[in-house]
Structure 1
Amino acid sequence: MKITDYDNVYFLGIGGIGMSALARWFVDRDKAVAGYDRTSSNLTDKLSAEGMEIHFEDNPNYIPAKFRDPEATLVIYTPAIPEHHDEFDFFKTSGFTIYKRSEVLGMITKDHKTLAVAGTHGKTTTSIMLAHLLYQADMNMEGLLGGIATNYNSNLLLNRKDEEPIIVVEADEFDRTFLRLNPTSAIITNMDADHLDIYGEHEELVKSFKEFIELIPKGQKIYYHNSLSDQLSGLIEERGLKGISYGIDEGDVKASNIRVEENAFVFDMSYETENLFFGGLVLHQPGFHNVLNAIAASAIALDNGLEREDLFSGLESYKGVKRRFEYICITDQTIYIDDYAHHPTEITSLIDSVRKLYPEKKMTVIFQPHLYSRTRDFADGFAESLDKADDVILMPIYPAREEPIEGVDSDLILNKMKNINKVVIDREDLIALLKAREPELLLTVGAGDIDREVVRIKNMLEAS
């Protein structure tokens, strides 16, 4: 049976950002959708409001009756679900068809033109930019996204006009998920070391990216940051692909004359291999990293039918991604920005971009490290990037799927920092400390559950 032949779809881990996009995709196809997740969230609340049945206790008795029929129900799970899980065990021993999320994405992308965006960081923003450009131009497309697009308050964009839409998908390197996809063309934003708990060595991560590139059909285009030329150009030529490099002031596609005008980044873009030039593009999502994301998304969109005028309007109307350089509030005393950055390179880029906008303001960064293994592997990098801030508040590590590692905690970063204005505090002490310090430029940073503090901080700042 095809995945669309089932009447019901049950998700184990439905609250994940990628899983929830798939859940919405199946609802759009008139399937009954239900699922389990470990904890409730704003996202699961929205899914419930959209008609999905969700519960938060691992108990097969809570699986709705109609989803207990293996002939009518497809089960999709995330790798975050442990091997021994009561509901998972029920489905495995009861004859259900069960697929990983990555396998389902592979099936969806198999028979469609698929534009995939990969990279250790930048892939979420770039894929959402690309999906927005196509959507606002009223092109035939579907976007299965790895973040919540602020323009639409959703991680699923649908403008399907027939059975041959362009699919835009985030290609996630975690657990080698992206090797299940069937990309027609792709963007590689970077291949920086990350997920070393999965890959062991950086070289293995790079090898996985190269295997992803090998999935692209001969003659198609691969877009990559200019810094990757030495690593990728040989493989691209060997595979018979058309390599398009991009960068700031360098590459086949390049941004130049970058300036800040009324808190927006304005720049020119040239696509030299296609003899195209675009002067005065406006991006209201600030940051040099966002300019790079924008020119990559623009190039692949233009090559897939985007018209010139739609590029200008699309970039200017783009409002960003939830928890990516997201302005939470601006008061007379404080500017408050929230960001998902959880890797030293991302934090450096974030702080540098904020400095470009507000060079005279004292910057306070609250950072929650994500994963013990990542903290261990990149402690020096985290310390170096956070030293760029004026004042640093570290929260305890968010463990996610991991057990504690002896000797690895937030003090590991703290003790490597040169900045003397630093402290590690528990969650319950955060608001009191912020009240005492009265920050004028505040950033909350991290991929864990630091976002649960955003409303509390916002309320405190607006009440001050």
Structure 2
Amino acid sequence: MKQVSGSECSCGRPSDPSSDLCGNNGRIITYGISSSNEWHAESVRPNLQGGSDYILVIVTVLMLMGDQGKLKESIDCFKLHLSKFRGISRCFEMFGTIYGCHIYDHYAHHPTEVRAVLQAARQRFPEKTLLVVFQPHTCSGLVALKDDFATAFSDADKVVITEVDAARERNSWNITGRDLAASIVSPSTEYISSLGDVVDKLTVVISRDPLHETVILTLGAGDVTTVGPKLLQQLQNMLRN
């Protein structure tokens, strides 16, 4: 839930806040976290799912001006679909759970993004071991942001750094993922160049203590997103055998 500076008409198009009606004569409805909005959130607090719970408040005049039955129907429909929403691709996307291992992926390649998603993961899984696999994106980006990355993983318990996803760049800086791994003082960090080797290493680690509650979180902008499904498949094959 966020504060908005304007308003939106019931047809879904942005409109001029100074106007009372949008182009199709629909009513303008304001929303946000301020009580000045007709729809606003109160008592916002973090929940155990990594999101937020809040009370949705609807200004009484809306109910008086509209059809109360349709309004309740709309709210009930919204609640039903929201309860079934499982998120979007590469946004704390869950690939699966096997043994005590919970495998997630998130698109994050900037220190601020990494720090934010790890804070959210720690909030959601306060008692579980948080193991992060990070694939740096572009050599120029790593050169510019290496010092910021060095402190961005503090909420993790263990970190694996892979080789840089160079994209279309030529590595004129002679920098590698090993350099980033060496700069991270805490938590415990390991450099594993190949994504395939990362999958094999994690398979061994998880299989040694299958009931240990571990969250595997892959981060990056490149093909690091393939690690989670491959890890899940290898662990499933071990379970069947």
**Partner amino acid for 2:182?**
N
1:460 aligns with 2:234: yes
Q: Give 1:336 deviation, angstroms.
A: 1.1
Q: Deviations over 1:89-142 (max 9, x none)?
A: xxxxxxxxxxxxxxxxxxxxxxxxxxxxxxxxxxxxxxxxxxxxxxxxxx9xxx
1:156 aligns to what? none
Contact 1:387/1:418 (<8 A) preserved: no
Which of 350, 356, 363 matches 2:123? Answer: 356
1:387 aligns with 2:154: yes
**Partner amino acid for 2:224?**
I
2:45 aligns to what? 258
Q: Give 1:398 deviation, angstroms.
A: 0.8
2:137 aligns to what? 370
Q: Give 1:374 deviation, angstroms.
A: 2.3
**CA distance in 1 between partners of 2:36 and 2:138 (Å):** 35
Contact 1:334/1:461 (<8 A) preserved: no
Contact 2:93/2:105 (<8 A) preserved: yes
| TM-score (structure 1 length as normaliser) | 0.38
**CA distance in 2 between partners of 1:421 and 1:220 (Å):** 55
Contact 2:143/2:173 (<8 A) preserved: no
Q: Give 1:396 deviation, angstroms.
A: 0.8
Which of 395, 402, 406 matches 2:173? Answer: 406
The change in CA–CA distance for 1:436 and 1:256 in structure 2 (over 3 A counts) is: same
The change in CA–CA distance for 1:219 and 1:335 in structure 2 (over 3 A counts) is: same
**CA distance in 2 between partners of 1:450 and 1:266 (Å):** 28
**CA distance in 2 between partners of 1:316 and 1:421 (Å):** 37
The change in CA–CA distance for 1:344 and 1:269 in structure 2 (over 3 A counts) is: farther
1:321 aligns with 2:88: yes
2:223 aligns to what? 449
Q: Which runs of 5+ in 2 are unaligned?
A: 1-9, 20-27, 61-72, 207-211
Q: Which secondary structure state, in structure 2, belongs to the residue aligned with residue 404 of structure 1?
A: coil
2:99 aligns to what? 332
2:59 aligns to what? 275
Q: Give 1:269 deviation, angstroms.
A: 4.3
- Equivalent positions of 1:180-259 (< 5 A) are 185=14, 218-219=16-17, 253-254=40-41, 256-259=43-46
**CA distance in 1 between partners of 2:36 and 2:180 (Å):** 36
- Equivalent positions of 1:108-123 (< 5 A) are none
Contact 2:181/2:191 (<8 A) preserved: yes
Q: Which runs of 5+ in 1 are unaligned?
A: 1-138, 140-164, 167-183, 186-216, 222-241, 277-305
1:433 aligns with 2:201: yes
**CA distance in 1 between partners of 2:179 and 2:31 (Å):** 38
Q: Give 1:389 deviation, angstroms.
A: 0.7
Count of residues paired in the alignment: 199
**Partner amino acid for 2:130?**
M
Q: Give 1:345 deviation, angstroms.
A: 2.3
Sequence identity (%): 22
Higher relative contact order, structure no. (Cα contacts within 8 Å, ≥ 6 residues apart) = 2
